[in-house]
Amino acid sequence: MSESFYRLLFIFIDVILPLTIGYYFHKYKIISLNTCNFLLKLNIRFIMIITGLGSFWLIKIDQNLFLLAFVGIILISALPGLLAYPYVNWRLGKNIRNSGAYLLSSMLSNTGILGGLCAYIAMGQLAYAYVQVIAMVQNIFTLSFCFPLAEYFHQKFTAGSKAKFQPHWRSILISWNQIGLLSMFIGAILNIYEVPRPDIFDPIFNASVHLGAWFGILPVGYLLNFKAARLYKYLALTIVPVRFLIIPVLSFITASLFTDNALLISVITLIGMCPIGINSVVVTQLYKLNTSIAEAIFLITTIIFIFIAYPIFLFLMT
């Protein structure tokens, strides 16, 4: 069978199927929200230990890491927020909960789970490893900037515009959710000292990628909110040109200027078009912003990515 067939098969098995099952689990109340959250925690705190360790054990430690870090912090996180900011001031400025939800959602893309899986399906283990570097620095940006920003909007909403911003850094920066970063650091140390990966590690790593997809994407299906999407569809569509045109084009140009590595250019371009992640919904829920806006943006960009943007990317690759 052709390589294209296997790619489409993996997209169905690891993306569309868990997304659909998660949606029907919610619709027919087969599992609870607590179970859904447990799957997310299991993915972040256990599965990502294996994938993070394996990724940083595999990649070549060279100047390309700086390019990946630039992509993770500037191109796919900070820049979309800067592009969204004028619109926030123009249309949403007086509503703190709406402004916070929109601005935060614009900066939080589904890189590590969906982007990593799609890179793995299209380009293999090394591509997945490159994505995990981008996801790591994006996670650092999320912790150091997005969470404090969410708390700022929350404090401003609850106490008024004159409230003094007091971020709770300990709870923001120290969490079991950061254990994946530790595994990546260990993987990098093993890589630097040229410790060989045992033969048994490859099948474990590959299985973890697919298992992580189910643990990460099934809850995404569970949290799909079509009512929110209908309510805020026009607002959500304003992010589409940024996420699926401006950022991918800039990502491709930037990568092409700094490297001639075709795989790296493809990975960076793919990550540039990743949809908004489920973490936008989690953050807005946690800080009592307008979760419906985050849900609408998350749902609409995810559908566009899976059924339009990613198939186009695969077609252009072949």
Q: Which fold has domain 3-317?
A: Na+/H+ antiporter like fold (1.20.1530)
| Percent share of the chain, pLDDT over 90 | 42
Per-residue pLDDT, averaged over 169-180, amounts to 62
Q: What does pTM read for this prediction?
A: 0.85
Hey, is 109 helix, strand or coil?
Answer: strand
pLDDT at position 38: 87
Per-residue pLDDT, averaged over 215-232, amounts to 84
pLDDT at position 81: 94
The CB-side HSE value for 233 (13 A sphere, CA atoms) comes to 8
93 vs 69, residue with greater confidence: 69
For the chain, the average pLDDT equals: 86
**Residue 239 burial by CB count (10 A; 0-12/13-18/19+): exposed, middle or buried?**
buried
**Res 238 pLDDT > 90:** yes
CB 221, CB 30: distance < 8 Å: no
Residue with tokens 């994938």: 51
Task: Return contacts of 90-94, CB within 8 angstroms, 24+ apart.
Answer: none
**Res 177 pLDDT > 60:** no
Closest alpha carbon to 132 in 107, 108, 115: 115
Q: Helix, strand, coil shares of the chain as percentages rounded to 5?
A: 80, 0, 20
Confidence grade of residue 104 (pLDDT, cut at 50, 70, 90): very high
